[in-house]
Chain A
Amino acid sequence: MSSAAPTLPFSLAANPRLSSWIKFAGDGQVTVSPGKVEIGQGIVTALAQIAADELDVDIGCVQMVRATTAASPNEGVTSGSLSIQHSGRALRAACAEIRQIFLAAASDRLGVDASALQIEDGTISGPGNVRTSYWELADEVSLDRDATPGSKPKSIAERALAGKSAQRLDIPDKVFAQRRFIHDTALPGLLHGRVLRPENARAKLVGLKEDAARAVHGFGAVVRDGSFAGVVCETEAAAEAALKALRKGATWAEGEALPDESDLAAFLRAQPVESTLIDTRTAANAAKKERTLKRQYVRPYIAHASIAPSCAMAQWSGADRVHVWTHSQGVYLLRNDLALVLKLPLEHITVEHLEGAGCYGHNPADDVALDAALLARAAGCKPVRVQWSRADEMTHGPFGAAMAIEIEADLDAQNEIVEWRHSIWSNGHAARPGRGTKPTLLAGYELEPPFPIAISGNPPQANGGGGDRNSVPLYDFPAWKIESHRLLTMPVRTSALRTLGAQGNVFAIECFLDEVAAERGEDPVAFRLRHLKDERAKAVIRAAAKRAGWKPAPKAGTGHGVGYSRYKNTGAYCAAIAEIEGDEEIRVRKLTLAVDVGEAINPDGVINQIEGGAIQATSWVLKERVRFDRSRITSNSWTEYPILRFSEVPEVEVEVIQRAEIDPVGAGEAAHGPVTASIANAVFDCLGVRVRNLPITRDSLIAAMEQSS
Chain B
Amino acid sequence: MSSSGDFRDILSNMTSSKEGNRFTLISFVAVIIMLSYTGYDTVVYRAEVISSFAEENEYTISFSIQNETMQLVETLQDDETRNVIFELSDIVVPEGFSIGLIEVTITSEEEEGVSVQCDSVAGDIIENDLTAQWNDTTNDLSGQDSSCAPIELNLRVYPDFTGETVTVSAINEFQAVQKWTETGWGDGDLSIDLDLDVNSPLGFDPVGQDTDEEITVDVTVVLFSLSIQQV
Interaction A to B: no
B positions within 8 Å CB-CB of A: none
A positions within 8 Å CB-CB of B: none
